[in-house]
Amino acid sequence: MPTIEQIKKIRELLGSGIVETKKALDEAGGGEEKAIEILRKNNQSKAVKKSDREAGEGAIVSYIHPNNKLGVIVKLYCESDFVARNADFLELAKDIAMHICAMNPENIDALLAQFFVKNPEQTISELINEKIAKIGENIRVGDFFRVVL
């Protein structure tokens, strides 16, 4: 039987619901890594279901490297202006901008396939899918611009 500490740890990591996390831990026989894998697969299927929904709102977020010689502007889309002001959504946009600054992807497809600099076990696509599952709206990267001095 999953412990409260296990559920809390996984929820903080993925933002999943209590019941969903408990079910994944039960299915994984109490193994945290297996439960995380199950939850990530569930997040992927949730994202696929939402992918055909219109994402016409969003935010433009920038990240400037501390040396002030490199910067990124990224357009991140969502479905509603309410979510566009959500702290989790804005944090995702900032993380993606920081990642682009560090990894210099050639295009959006390359960006989505890259492993996230803050968590090398997760791709940018998987990161976005986690937020889609948590927030409940379609999220997509619109465009990005990287500027170097």
In the structure, what pLDDT confidence band is assigned to residue 13 with cuts at 50, 70 and 90?
A: confident
| Residue 134, C-beta contacts closer than 8 angstroms, at least 6 positions apart | 14, 15, 16, 88
The burial of 127, by beta-carbon neighbours within 10 Å (0-12 exposed, 13-18 middle, 19 or more buried), is given as: buried
Domains plus CATH for the chain? 4-50 (1.10.8.10), 57-148 (3.30.479.20)
Angle between helices 124-135 and 87-103 (to 10 degrees): 180
In tens, the pLDDT along 47-78 reads 666 656 677 899 999 999 999 999 999 999 99
| Across 9-26, average pLDDT | 77
